[in-house]
A and B are shown apart, each in its own frame.
Chain A
Amino acid sequence: MRRRLHPAASFVFAALILLFTGGPVLLSLYGSLVPDRILFSRDRSILTEGPNFETYRYIFTGQLPDSYQQESANRAMISDAARQVPQSLVNSSLNALAAMALNLILGAPAAFVFARYIFPGKKLSFMYLILSPLVPAVALVTPIYMMLQWFGLLGTQLGIILVHTAKALPFTVLILSVFFRKIPAEIFEAAVLDHCSRFQTFFRIALPLALPSVGATGLFAFMISYSEYMFAMVLSGNAQTRPVSVVMAALARNTDVSWSLLNAGIFIAIVPTLVLVVLVWRFVVEGLLGGAVKG
């Protein structure tokens, strides 16, 4: 275990990882900034032509890119699904934020109880929770569709939020309960002696200590909801409530679609996740390292 990787080797590994993670993001950014004819041209590039924001202009304002305004242009390449991207981003962000909040509100107390208390049926319910993600989502689409129909939630964002919450909840509970279990029991006993009720022990002691993990699991729940496609497609209604994953699929299904437009849509869809990761990740890593170093 003492042997460490040669610096050059770790550099190569890091570069490979960056290539596979950052590469597609950069490609989509590049592809969105140049018109299709330049993307496929050997002689011209963004360096000779400069960046072109026409596809972004189309997505946000509906004004067609100049090249498509000519008489003979193939307008079929401009899918109007792209026009739904901004609204779908708002929808997806709302969905994901709500799913994240619900996950933490429901999952953190549940994880605390699983970690610290003994109650009848604890083992069974925990097993159920942990094993439930093993059921293929496809198998659940029909029953869940019928359930939401029964509740009158089809085509609403609330329906999608509830399903996404349920999808991420097992992970939230598992990750947080592992963390809560790692906090020494004596700290909670001290809290009991210091006149804390169970709720106060949770809110004043356990939760503040778990903030890094809470941040990480929240982010995880956000991402699960943000990228989820199958339930979103089946359960979402009209363009007003459609989440971004569904819109992107519609955009990509159009075989004639302009590459530039598709890339612009993709890049716009990535942005909220990037922002969230940058905001939360630093905090999460700092918190985790702080906990590890402290004796």
Chain B
Amino acid sequence: MASVDLENIVKNFGKVEAVRDVSLSIPDKEFVVFVGPSGCGKSTLLRMIAGLEGITSGEIRIGGRPMSTVAAADRGIAMVFQSYALYPHMNVAENMGFALKMLGVGKAEVDGKVRAAAATLQLTDLLDRKPRQLSGGQRQRVAIGRAIVRQPDVFLFDEPLSNLDADLRAQMRVEIARLHADLATTMIYVTHDQVEAMTLADRIVILNDGRIEQEGSPLDLYERPANRFVAGFLGQPKMNFQPAIAHESGGELDLRLGKDGPVIVSHPSVSGLAGGDSVELGIRPDAIELVETGGLPASVVLVERLGGSSLLHARVEGWRDLVTVELPGTYHATAGSPLRLGIAPNHVHLFDRNGRTIR
């Protein structure tokens, strides 16, 4: 059980800045997910916490103890790798018990701990198998079991599910969530999959270009993104963006397509906005509905029917991109047919020139 503190962490690979001044406090027993696009520095950050990668400057503390002189093996962490990194020449039991064996723990005790971990992960029947005789999901469970056996203070997961197919990924996601509930241990989880981030995390840390863009609870980030990047990164299907200009007349503020263009949103519920400002509108696909009158005139381009819901891609006159609308149930429409889109003013996100959210 331990907290993890990162203080002004910087990591350079030669001239490339992989991590730029990241500070973060992870309290004990929290499940934190680092998420971001490829190359954002999330894996590097995790590997620095593990001690597999040196830090250029800054300090890492685990359980309050500075880690700068502590070897990776002695940090009280266990890591689950993307490729599982099982030892191919050892069977499942040997793989899981290897760390304890290297520590000089007695055979009987190692055996007991391996069996206990195997039981929680339903691996008992597979203990004699070699990794190559296991399926991807089973290998992943062995890798997790290997981490559990060490009874670490902190679990580190480096994109553990990205090599699994979609079904198995959903299943393992549930198992990892259950594991966190059972073990009540600090877990740091790196992924580029925002669904994993949203479903697993107590707290999400969104990284981009080596910096933290925003951190907070999943719903907080979803509902109140700090900037355009976070808003665009979280949420599936993705948020719709459209440049607009604020227009003020007689104390009434609305957002228009151009200076004198059609009104997109009237009376947006934000305060930091003045007439004449250029803004970027962000509208989640589920915040748009079809209306009979009023709204924006649009035409159907394509409908994707997902079963429980439908994704409507529509063209709105004068808009930069197609608009995605998420509709409940099955929606039928032929390409080109006209419709009207209604946008709820209090569900609109606004971003300034620099991508920061206007509240």
Residues of A whose CB lies within 8 Å of any CB of B are 184, 186-187, 189-196, 200, 205, 208-209, 290, 294-295
State in angstroms the CA–CA spacing of A107 and B10 once bound together. 39
Docked pose: A47 CA to B71 CA in angstroms? 75
Minimal beta-carbon separation of B41 from chain A (angstroms): 18
| Complex Cα spacing A146 to B67, Å | 56
Say whether A189 contacts B52, CB under 8 Å: yes
Nearest Cβ on chain A to B113's Cβ, whole angstroms: 14
Q: Nearest 10 pairs between A and B by C-beta?
A: A186-B85, A194-B99, A195-B102, A190-B85, A195-B73, A208-B89, A294-B132, A186-B81, A187-B85, A194-B98
Task: Name the B residues within 8 Å of A200 (CB-CB).
Answer: 102
Contact call B88/A193, Cβ cutoff below 8 A = no
Which A residues are CB-close (under 8 A) to B52?
A: 189, 192-193
Give the distance in Å from the alpha carbon of A191 to the alpha carbon of B89 in the complex.
Answer: 13
Give the docked Cα–Cα distance between A196 and B82 (Å): 20
Sample (29) of A-B pairs whose CB atoms are under 8 Å apart: A186-B82, A186-B83, A186-B85, A187-B85, A187-B86, A187-B87, A189-B79, A189-B81, A189-B85, A190-B87, A190-B146, A191-B87, A192-B72, A192-B73, A193-B72, A193-B73, A193-B78, A193-B79, A193-B99, A194-B98, A194-B99, A195-B102, A195-B103, A196-B73, A196-B102, A200-B102, A205-B87, A209-B87, A290-B132
Known: A187-B86, A190-B81. 12 other contacts (CB 8 A): A186-B83, A187-B88, A189-B52, A193-B52, A193-B73, A193-B77, A194-B73, A195-B73, A195-B99, A196-B102, A209-B88, A290-B132
- B323 CB within 8 Å of chain A: no
Q: Given the complex of chains A and B, what is the CA–CA distance between A209 and B86 in angstroms?
A: 12
Cα distance, A294 to B82, chains bound together (Å): 17
Chain B, residue nearest A186 (CB): B85
The smallest C-beta distance from A284 to any residue of chain B, in angstroms, reads 16
A294 with B88: in contact, given A190-B81, A194-B98 (CB under 8 Å)? Answer: yes
* C-alpha gap A192/B85 in the complex (Å): 12
- Mark each residue of chain B from 77 to 110: 1 if its CB lies under 8 Å from any CB of chain A, else 0: 1110111011111000000001100110000000
The residue in chain B whose Cβ has the minimal distance to the Cβ of A200 is B102
Q: Please judge, given known A-B contacts A189-B52, A294-B132, whether A194 and B102 are in contact too, CB under 8 Å.
A: yes
| Cα distance A290–B77 in the bound complex, in angstroms | 33
Q: Is B50 an interface residue (CB 8 A)?
A: yes
User: A209 touches which one: B50, B89, B132 (CB < 8 A)?
Assistant: B89
Least Cβ–Cβ distance between A75 and chain B, in angstroms: 59
B50 touches A193 (CB 8 A): yes
Are the C-beta atoms of A184 and B85 separated by less than 8 Å? yes
Contacts of B132 in A (CB 8 A): 290, 294-295
Partner of A190, one of B77, B79, B103: B79
Residues of B within 8 A of A186 (CB): 81-83, 85
Residues of B within 8 A of A294 (CB): 88, 132
- In this complex, the member of A193, A196, A205 whose beta carbon has the largest number of chain B beta carbons within 10 angstroms is A193
Question: In the complex, which residue of chain B has the Cβ closest to the Cβ of A211?
Answer: B89
**Complex-state Cα separation, A286 to B73, whole angstroms:** 35
Contacting residues, chain A, for B103 (C-beta < 8 A):
195
Give chain B nearest CB distance to A119 CB in angstroms: 16
Q: How far is the CB of B277 from chain A (nearest CB, A)?
A: 50
Report A278 CB to chain B, min CB distance, Å.
24
By a CB distance below 8 angstroms, the chain A residues around B77 are: 193
Residues of B within 8 A of A194 (CB): 73, 98-99, 102, 150
User: Which residue on chain A has the smallest CB distance to residue B98?
Assistant: A194
A190 nearest CB neighbor, chain B only: B85
CA distance A194 to B110 in the complex (A): 14
* Closest Cβ–Cβ distance, residue B51 to chain A (whole Å): 8
| Min distance, Cβ A46 to any Cβ of chain B, angstroms | 49
A205–B86 CA distance with the chains assembled, in angstroms = 10
- What A residues does B146 contact at CB under 8 A? 190
Residue from B77, B82, B88, B99 having most chain A Cβ neighbours under 10 A:
B88
Q: What's the minimum C-beta distance from A8 to chain B, rounded to whole angstroms?
A: 36
Closest residue of chain A to B89 (Cβ to Cβ) is A208
